[in-house]
Structure 1
Amino acid sequence: MASGSRGGAARYPFSAIVGMDDLKLALLINAVSPGVGGVLVRGEKGTAKSTIVRALAGLLPAVAVVPGCRFSCDPDDPDPACPDGPHNAAADAGDADADAGDPGSRAERQARLVELPVGASEDRLTGSLDIERALTEGVKAFEPGLLAAAHRGVLYVDEVNLLHDHLVDLLLDAAAMGESYVEREGVSVRHAARFLLVGTMNPEEGELRPQLLDRFGLTVEVAATREPEERAEVVRRRLRYDDDPAGFAAGWREAEAELAERIAAARDLVGGVELTDAALRQITAVCAAFEVDGLRADLVTARAAIALAAWNGRTSVNSDDVRTAARLALPHRRRRDPFDAPGLDREKLDEVLDEHDDDPQPPDDDGPGPGPSGGGPVDGDGSGPEQEQEPSNGSSPAQQQQHGEQQPAPADAAYKPKLFTVPGTGTGAPGRRSKARSPYGRVSGARPGARNLHLTATLRAAAPHQRARGRSGPGLIVAADDLRETVREGREGNLVLFVVDASGSMAARQRMRAVKGAVLSLLLDAYQRRDKVGLITFRGTGADLALPPTSSVEAGARRLERLPTGGRTPLAAGLLRAAEVLRVERLRDPARRPLLVVVTDGRATHGPDPAAAAGLLNGVASVVVDCESGPVRLGLAGRLGGLLEGEVVRLEDLAADSLAGVVRDVRKREVA
């Protein structure tokens, strides 16, 4: 569990990684059979997720390639549609005098580890038209992207949950089909793209959508060991490696060679492994029992079980293979809701397998130890000493009772709320809420520049000047003033800051149940639109930042569920705290625009007049959810909405289907 190796130093050996058996096994399964679909590694920071992935690449067998082919074609089985082709199968593997362009020539190299950075563009991932050759030579030439570079190797995506959704879609589509299609700028290219896909993420920084989770073959959750001796061994090995990377790697060379040989042998064997009807019935029974959607889970589990049998040197899949494959393939597919944590009930898994086992055998207890990916249900709220504490406002349980505070009320069921957006056009992080200028999305125009060249607009600008510039060949003469860059219009994620009234007036008539259901619905909406969220509550004599701005809406849901109510209503304190939080966040991330959502009945029974505090929030897009109920209504929340210059929505009208078209876009007021 050491951290990543230094640039230029020997890789940290895979066999030197301490613990993390499930993760190592999941990676080895994919090394044996990349068709399993890759691995998603979920875990807290500092758990060596990157180190172990990079270490795996050194174990993969070398690949034979056609010299000069940018798409890593196998000389024994070249891709007939390779853009650098045609290549014929090697006629003479031993011809050392063959030229790079000779169909019979071949070369051998180590399998590549290609890393996809979070800020990569679509062109960088899939490839694009070679602009330089198009403009200077007048020819269409394709410049390969990272998918081509990763063919027959490993494609590693760190922080995959922060990657833009449409890039993740392209990535996973290529991994599923084994091919990449590029259709743009007059270029139509198809090339092979078969690779071992590994993504890592820290759930605290935000989740992947369930639809994207399902596209990863296996998933493993990792956490630093709590055993002092094991932690000591991790530190000991890391210090040795830092002192002498090459010497440390040399000490593990024999173990690494044995692992590499075992992977190669399993690859040779995997095609001959039999998936018996009995094993297949167990797989389908398990997937049905855990109510996973679709049939991808069945296919992935079957492929993983076959790879496991080959890894263990067997030619037939048994119940232990199915059990282990299911532990790795099903947990992330059982998530029905973004607030659900991945997990699998091991007792239920054993029951289903035993019920459909034609030849019952005791479970293999010598396999990878239980962990979050398969050792029983995961604690969905991550409760620990810190999380179990109530949101602090300085009052003990006895004091809460003295001040008339009530126990936390459960939340009503979540629903789809109306869409609230920030007026104008932003430049924040990619998301799905407000209009933004973005490197992704539809093309809406062109402007002078050369960062992201708009080919058609550039050619149109250069065309009228060709005679005056003395053009005589096929290529255009392009001046700097002709260059035009693409202007794209997409959507951005915002900072959605909830300010929730938790006072005694909100607790009356069980309104807090509906309020919590509304905020939970808005949190779910924020998750789907890739927003950051924060939660401020106010009651008694002050306001509490219950959830600092984060991309983990699960944390917001947990804090909301335990939110107690009672006491007076310090509305001004809540607004002042919101102004301070937004001020700090503006310094940290100036491009991310805020959306303030105030959930209150508008009463202010403690502290100064909220009008002055509201003045500090001028210019912030705001929505006031009016929670006032009863036959006599004072309209105080409406007045607050006027002070904030924001939209006011009744709590009962918050659902998207309750009043179609109302408050769909806050910027309508700006246009009017």
Structure 2
Amino acid sequence: MRPYPFTAVVGMQELRLALVLSAISPAIGGVLVRGEKGTAKSTMVRALAGLLPPVDVAEGCRFSCDPAAPDPQCPDGPHAGPAIRRPARLVELPVGAAEDRVVGSLNLERALAEGVTDYQPGLLAAAHRGLLYVDEVNLLHDHLVDTLLDAAAMGRATVEREGVSVSHAARFVLIGTMNPEEGELRPQLLDRFGLTVEVASSRDPEERAEVIRRRLAYEADPGTFAGRYADDDASLAREIQAAQELLPSVTLSDDALRQIAEVCASFEVDGMRADIVTARTAVAHAAWSGRDKVSTEDIRVAARLALPHRRRRNPFDAPGIDEDQLEQALQDAEPPEDPGPDDDGPGSGSQAPEPEAGPQGETEGGQQPETGGGAGGQQQTTGAGKPYRARLFQVAGVGEGERGRRSRAVTDSGRTVGVRPPSVREGRPHLVATMRAAAPHQRSRGRTGAGLVLRKGDLRYALREGNEGNLVLFCVDASGSMGARARMREVKAAVLSLLLDAYQRRDKVGLVTFRANGADLALPPTISVEDAAARLEALPTGGRTPLAEGLLEAARVLRVESVRDPRRRPLLVVVTDGRATSGADAVRRAQAAAGLLAGVTAVVMDCETGRMRLGLAAELAEHLGAEHVPLGEVAADSLTSAVKSRLGRAA
């Protein structure tokens, strides 16, 4: 089936421009496309490959070396054959791909037996001088995303296995698509994408109808439909090629550089990558517009594409860019005009207006105004305080879950801690253990040469230990006893800090709340901690304390998740002062509910304050077999201070 034509996509002008600019200048660093499902993200990316000029490759080279400038380290070199022209490739990387499939693999058996380096190239080699597309990039394992972005930045891929190293060129346009509802990329990874675009479906009925009309026509007869747009696609392809040829001639003046620096500084982006990417994008946009000099309009367009994802400090910051701030920065850095004969110079005339104040209604630390609710103050909503670096809480033991950064686990990467039994053939071969297994049998196998004579039974596999992500389920008391404003703000700040920690450690999170007469699953387990933060921010308080119902709902959620995702081990965080006031036998029922959570690693965040304390949260922690942590000790700094204080007293 012929791919959907690029020019047949309705709307999506910003995404269209970002993809074209990346095709013109691969040095920009690719595009991250963020948007809800069903917005033609994948359709446009797949159609882009048909617009790229064909490439000349060395005959027989699996790494697509350019015959005019072959890679001197190419594993298939040196190249002496004729050049072959082929279309540019679009290589798709599946979310579940293994690391060897991405970077390539070395044949350890041949290395030991024959002393040769037998390297099988991976997807990075296939994508060289083309497009590498990762759908749902936010669901890709972090170590694979790091590998992709490092290769995209350095232009090379390196594979090292047990002391054997192979390197080859890997220059490609990296394009990732993602649905933010399924979780965000870490800020460090966001920054490595050159451009980002937010896409959403149109709300215009006429435009939506045209989308349906074209899609149905394509599905009915792909060939005829694609033929209707063949001329438009061919014309766009010629324009891209013309811009690529003009690109080296585009001038980036010192005045334009100062404008770029002023814009990036005004948005307080980290590092210098934003400035460099903005400059490259502005140059590409000038070439796309047919100009040989970068203008203010080129910088404006480049900033809109290169800066929105770089100004985020944590996953709870809204993406986007302030257009007024952008225009002010561009104006501040505009080169001065030559004064005319009647002009008194820069010291005359009215002064520039003072910058406007920030949005009204905000309070320090991102807090929202507090609002009362319900007659007599029975229900109220309190904003969260400023988050901080939280202590690390881990699940006990060693798991085998998805890769992350929280608890110990057996993984296919990490440090080698042993050798798997011969019957377990998983992971990478262990070189030394394999040699030891084969060495005693060399005489009986008739070895005569330098290499080892291997059998399949000799292979041993490394047992590696790394870290896994967990399911962090928050069970939060939202009853009236928690409703004091200063107290609830502190509670929400602590939970928000733990949510931020869960985001950085690649955990799933869920939120159970209990108040009044029952418990609610406010957020089913998800990798989108942004949703959890939003639910937490809007969490009302008031009413009695149905602690038993909260624990029972937490046990139900964990039971369901153990079936859905059995490898992901849970960490239960109960946020309460330990009171149970719903029903005559509330305390007994709470203790019984705690028994259902036996074996689950849990933390009880004790929110009780004041001089006279009942110690009920500590009793609950004992029934749960959980770690008891006072609210004031959730911060990592408080733990450090406590340790230093104890060491000081001991000295």
TM-score, structure 2 length as denominator?
Answer: 0.90
Q: Does 1:616 align with 2:567?
A: no
Of 417, 425, 434, the residue aligned with 1:450 is 425
Letter in 2 for 1:655: A
User: For residue 84 of structure 1, what is the aligned residue in structure 2?
Assistant: 76
User: For residue 191 of structure 1, what is the aligned residue in structure 2?
Assistant: 168
User: For residue 241 of structure 1, what is the aligned residue in structure 2?
Assistant: 218
User: For residue 649 of structure 1, what is the aligned residue in structure 2?
Assistant: 629
Aligned mates of 2:294, 2:500 — CA distance in 1: 41
The question of whether the paired residues in 2 share the 8 Å contact of 1:206 and 1:553 is answered with yes
The question of whether the paired residues in 2 share the 8 Å contact of 1:439 and 1:488 is answered with yes
The question of whether the paired residues in 1 share the 8 Å contact of 2:545 and 2:580 is answered with yes
Aligned mates of 1:445, 1:57 — CA distance in 2: 45
Give structure 1 stretches of 5+ with no counterpart. 1-8, 88-102, 361-376, 382-387, 391-396, 664-672
Of 290, 313, 327, the residue aligned with 1:336 is 313
Shift of the alpha carbon at 1:403? 6.9
User: For residue 638 of structure 1, what is the aligned residue in structure 2?
Assistant: 618
Aligned mates of 1:151, 1:574 — CA distance in 2: 54
Of 70, 74, 90, the residue aligned with 2:66 is 74
Shift of the alpha carbon at 1:132? 4.7
Of 570, 590, 599, the residue aligned with 2:575 is 599
User: For residue 183 of structure 2, what is the aligned residue in structure 1?
Assistant: 206
**Pair 406,29 (structure 1): closer, same or farther in 2 beyond 3 Å:** same
User: For residue 152 of structure 1, what is the aligned residue in structure 2?
Assistant: 129
Q: Does 1:110 align with 2:83?
A: no
Q: Does 1:432 align with 2:412?
A: no
SS at match of 1:225: coil
The question of whether the paired residues in 2 share the 8 Å contact of 1:446 and 1:454 is answered with no
Q: Does 1:408 align with 2:387?
A: no
Show the 5 A alignment for 1:43-62: 43-62=35-54
SS at match of 1:590: coil
Shift of the alpha carbon at 1:603? 0.3
Aligned mates of 2:406, 2:292 — CA distance in 1: 52
User: For residue 139 of structure 2, what is the aligned residue in structure 1?
Assistant: 162
Shift of the alpha carbon at 1:601? 0.4
Letter in 2 for 1:79: D
Shift of the alpha carbon at 1:104? 4.8
Aligned mates of 2:7, 2:638 — CA distance in 1: 58
User: For residue 499 of structure 1, what is the aligned residue in structure 2?
Assistant: 475
Aligned mates of 2:106, 2:598 — CA distance in 1: 46
**Pair 340,479 (structure 1): closer, same or farther in 2 beyond 3 Å:** same
Aligned mates of 1:558, 1:494 — CA distance in 2: 21
Of 484, 498, 515, the residue aligned with 1:522 is 498
User: For residue 524 of structure 2, what is the aligned residue in structure 1?
Assistant: 548
SS at match of 2:461: strand
Shift of the alpha carbon at 1:618? 1.2
Aligned mates of 2:239, 2:230 — CA distance in 1: 14
The question of whether the paired residues in 2 share the 8 Å contact of 1:622 and 1:647 is answered with yes
Shift of the alpha carbon at 1:336? 1.1
1:443-493 Cα offsets, whole Å, 9 max, x none, are: 222212434341412232122112112233455332332222222111111
Aligned mates of 2:411, 2:236 — CA distance in 1: 45
Letter in 2 for 1:533: V
Of 520, 544, 548, the residue aligned with 1:572 is 548
Aligned mates of 2:81, 2:590 — CA distance in 1: 81
User: For residue 286 of structure 1, what is the aligned residue in structure 2?
Assistant: 263
User: For residue 91 of structure 1, what is the aligned residue in structure 2?
Assistant: none
Aligned mates of 2:332, 2:487 — CA distance in 1: 47
SS at match of 2:51: coil
Shift of the alpha carbon at 1:332? 0.3
Aligned mates of 2:25, 2:596 — CA distance in 1: 59
SS at match of 2:483: helix
User: For residue 334 of structure 2, what is the aligned residue in structure 1?
Assistant: 357
The question of whether the paired residues in 2 share the 8 Å contact of 1:458 and 1:482 is answered with yes
SS at match of 2:605: strand
1:525-558 Cα offsets, whole Å, 9 max, x none, are: 1111111111111111111111111111111111
The question of whether the paired residues in 2 share the 8 Å contact of 1:10 and 1:245 is answered with yes
Larger deviation, residues 429-438 vs 126-135: 126-135
Letter in 2 for 1:653: E
Letter in 1 for 2:610: G
Aligned mates of 2:68, 2:87 — CA distance in 1: 17
1:342-391 Cα offsets, whole Å, 9 max, x none, are: 1101121112212322389xxxxxxxxxxxxxxxx99xx9xxxxxx9x9x
Aligned mates of 1:404, 1:584 — CA distance in 2: 36
Of 294, 301, 319, the residue aligned with 1:324 is 301
Letter in 2 for 1:641: A
Shift of the alpha carbon at 1:135? 4.8
User: For residue 120 of structure 2, what is the aligned residue in structure 1?
Assistant: 143
SS at match of 1:545: strand
Of 525, 543, 562, the residue aligned with 2:538 is 562
Aligned mates of 2:439, 2:428 — CA distance in 1: 16
1:134-171 Cα offsets, whole Å, 9 max, x none, are: 25533122222211111100011111112222221221
Q: Does 1:21 align with 2:13?
A: yes
Shift of the alpha carbon at 1:305? 0.5
Aligned mates of 1:451, 1:48 — CA distance in 2: 38
User: For residue 243 of structure 2, what is the aligned residue in structure 1?
Assistant: 266
Shift of the alpha carbon at 1:661? 9.6
Q: Does 1:441 align with 2:414?
A: yes
Letter in 1 for 2:37: K
Aligned mates of 1:359, 1:312 — CA distance in 2: 25
**Pair 253,132 (structure 1): closer, same or farther in 2 beyond 3 Å:** farther
The question of whether the paired residues in 1 share the 8 Å contact of 2:217 and 2:225 is answered with yes
Shift of the alpha carbon at 1:662? 8.4
Q: Does 1:228 align with 2:201?
A: no
Letter in 2 for 1:216: F
Of 22, 39, 48, the residue aligned with 1:30 is 22
The question of whether the paired residues in 1 share the 8 Å contact of 2:512 and 2:520 is answered with yes
The question of whether the paired residues in 2 share the 8 Å contact of 1:405 and 1:564 is answered with no
Aligned mates of 1:296, 1:598 — CA distance in 2: 41
SS at match of 1:271: helix
Shift of the alpha carbon at 1:70? 1.2
User: For residue 156 of structure 2, what is the aligned residue in structure 1?
Assistant: 179
The question of whether the paired residues in 2 share the 8 Å contact of 1:599 and 1:624 is answered with yes
SS at match of 1:58: helix
TM-score, structure 1 length as denominator?
Answer: 0.87
The question of whether the paired residues in 2 share the 8 Å contact of 1:626 and 1:648 is answered with yes
Percent same amino acid among aligned pairs?
A: 66
The question of whether the paired residues in 2 share the 8 Å contact of 1:534 and 1:556 is answered with yes
**Pair 146,52 (structure 1): closer, same or farther in 2 beyond 3 Å:** same
Aligned mates of 1:473, 1:356 — CA distance in 2: 72
SS at match of 1:658: helix
Aligned mates of 2:45, 2:450 — CA distance in 1: 47
CA RMSD, Structure 1 to Structure 2 (Å)? 2.2
Of 279, 285, 305, the residue aligned with 1:308 is 285
**Pair 580,206 (structure 1): closer, same or farther in 2 beyond 3 Å:** same
SS at match of 2:617: helix
The question of whether the paired residues in 2 share the 8 Å contact of 1:121 and 1:439 is answered with no
User: For residue 344 of structure 2, what is the aligned residue in structure 1?
Assistant: none
SS at match of 2:73: coil
Aligned mates of 1:288, 1:140 — CA distance in 2: 49
The question of whether the paired residues in 1 share the 8 Å contact of 2:59 and 2:81 is answered with no
Letter in 2 for 1:126: V
The question of whether the paired residues in 2 share the 8 Å contact of 1:404 and 1:567 is answered with no
SS at match of 1:547: strand
Give structure 2 stretches of 5+ with no counterpart. 338-357, 363-367, 644-651
